[in-house]
Amino acid sequence: MDNSTIVDVRTPGEFSGGNVTGSINIPLQEVVERESEIMNLKQPVIFCCASGARSGQATQYFKSKGLNCDNGGGWMEVNSRMNG
C-alpha cells in the first residue's frame, strides 16, 4: 500500500472529521467529472469511504475504465493497515 494513492470518496465534511494521512478527497458525486484526474493518479488507487459501499461503486466504475484500483473499504480500516 505504500506506493498506492488513497482516494476518499466521502463528503468534504466527513473527510474533515478524520481521514487517512496523505489521502485525497474526491466525493463520490464528483468522480465521473474528475475521471481524468483520477486516471492520472499514481496506481494502484485505493478507494475508501465510511463503510466501503461508496468506495465499492467508485472501484467498479474505474475498474471498468482500466484503472488499477481496489476498494479499501472503510477509511479507518485503510488507516490501520497503512499504520499497522
* pTM of the entire predicted model: 0.95
Residues 32 and 61: their CA atoms lie apart, in Å, by 9
Q: What would the pLDDT profile of 33-69 be if each residue is shown by its tens digit?
A: 999 999 999 999 999 999 999 999 999 999 999 999 9
Overall number of domains in the chain: 1
Q: Give dist(CA 25, CA 7) in Å, integer.
A: 6
CATH number for the domain harbouring residue 72: 3.40.250.10
Residue partners of 30: CB distance under 8 A and separation at least 6: none
Does position 1 have pLDDT exceeding 60, yes or no? no
Domain that holds residue 35: 5-83
What pLDDT score was predicted for residue 35? 98
pLDDT digits (tens, 9 = 90+) for 2-14: 689 999 999 999 9
